[in-house]
Amino acid sequence: MTLSAANLSVGDTHSEVLVEDLTRTQLVQYAGASGDYNPVHTDEKFVREIAGYPTVFAHGMLTMGMTGALVTNYVGDGTLTKYGVRFVNQVWPGDTLTGTAEVTAIHTDDGQHLVDLKLTTVNQDGTPVLTGTATARVKP
């Protein structure tokens, strides 16, 4: 699916549940796929005794990856030109995350139609864990 500028309005939103009850196993899976083996994400003993956190927590890039799936589900594959985020709160095992993309602008650059999105991912308490923006190519 690729969006069309003609069918988009500023303020349109697209939301998805990104993960329900995030598991420690998924953090292990992400460590293996990404190559980031920082033990704060996978090693309960290390994270409590050395790092001083109550338990392991998600890679920020896992949350960015899951939010990226929401974005590409909305705008279509291979159309992103920019995607940037801030990690504003930690994500813990057991969290359920919901992401929302909101259209903030529809414009053209050098003849190419583009849509700008504002992104917010929140946990089950409604606390933002990630905020960001994305820009994608759209059909006229």
Partner 1 sequence: MAVENFAIEASHIMMFARAIGDANKIYSDAAYAEGTDVGGIIAPPTFAQASAQFDENYRLRPKIGKPWMGSGKEATGIAPKTEGASDDAPVGMGARGLHAEQHFEYHRHMRPGDVLSATVKPGESWEKHSKRAGVLKFSETVTEYRDQTGELVITARSVGVTTEKAVEG
Q: Site residues (CB under 8 A) for partner 1?
A: 2, 18-19, 26, 29-30, 32-40, 42-43, 45-46, 48-54, 59-62, 64-66, 68-69, 71-73, 76-78, 80-87, 89-90, 92, 127
Least spacing, CB of residue 123 vs partner 1, in Å:
9
- Residues 6 or more apart whose CB falls under 8 angstroms from that of 79 comprise 2, 72, 136, 137, 138
Nearer to partner 1, 7 or 37 (CB): 37
Q: Which is nearer to partner 1, 17 or 105 (CB)?
A: 17
Nearer to partner 1 by Cβ, of 8 and 61: the residue is 61
DSSP string covering 60-116, please? HHHHHHHHHHHHHHHH-TT-EEEEEEEE-S---TT--EEEEEEEEEEEEETTEEEEE
Q: Are 46 and 33 in contact (CB under 8 A)?
A: no
From 132, 46, 41, 42, select the one nearest 90 (Cα to Cα). 41
CB of residue 84 vs partner 1: minimum separation in angstroms?
3
Nearest distance from C-beta of residue 51 to partner 1, angstroms: 4
To partner 1, the closest distance from the beta carbon of 35 in angstroms equals: 4
